[in-house]
Amino acid sequence: MTIDVTSRIEIARPRAVVAAFSADPDNVPRWYVNIKSVEWNTPRPAQVGSRIAFVAQFLGRRLVYTYEIVDLVQGERLVMRTAEGPFPMETSYAWRDTREGRTHMTLRNRGTPTGFSRLVAPFIAVAVRRSTDRDLLRLKNILEAAH
């Protein structure tokens, strides 16, 4: 089963601010509910080829996986992929300006969960959507409160 979940939000902050904060892996545990920690496997800052290990808690399971940044255009998009673990995935962020200096952010997760039972598989896309929507709302609240 392949999942492909896209969530969107508008944040009342300039695109440069939203992109810089959300594209920094060190900030991920602050706004992703399920991500507990990150560890750099390559030197900072984030760039194409950077590898970052994430520890997550999802559907009652502890997941450890390493993303590699495969595309990065500062302030426009970030694409990370992992091929390992129970949930090989590609995560992408895109940012664009809206009216009044706001930012429209898109967060897309797609992959093939292989480490879950067949009984759980149909619920994974729903769980990913719920989690992603909650993460973007948390990001919005953090960034707008800082203003």
**Residue 99 has what pLDDT?**
81
Q: What is the pLDDT of residues 79-132, one digit of tens each?
A: 999 967 666 889 999 999 998 889 999 999 998 776 655 666 668 778 888 999
**Residue 86 has what pLDDT?**
63
**Residue 135 has what pLDDT?**
97
Name 103's bridge partners.
11, 97
> CA–CA separation, 111 vs 63, rounded Å?
15
Q: Which sign, positive or negative, has the C-alpha torsion 113, 117, 118, 122?
A: negative
Distance of CA 107 to the CA centre of its chain: 6
Identify the helix (H) or strand (E) that includes residue 78.
strand 77-82
Name residues whose C-beta falls within 8 Å of residue 140's C-beta, 6 or more positions apart in sequence: 9, 10, 11, 12
Whole-model pTM above 0.85? yes
Q: What is the pLDDT of residues 13-64, one digit of tens each?
A: 999 999 999 999 999 999 999 899 999 999 999 999 999 999 887 767 787 8
**Residue 117 has what pLDDT?**
59
- Topology (CATH) of 3-145: Alpha-D-Glucose-1,6-Bisphosphate; Chain A, domain 4 (3.30.530)
Pick the more confident residue, 2 or 73: 73
State the average pLDDT over residues 126-143. 94
> CA–CA separation, 114 vs 136, rounded Å?
25
Name residues whose C-beta falls within 8 Å of residue 97's C-beta, 6 or more positions apart in sequence: 15, 103, 104
Amino acid at 94: A
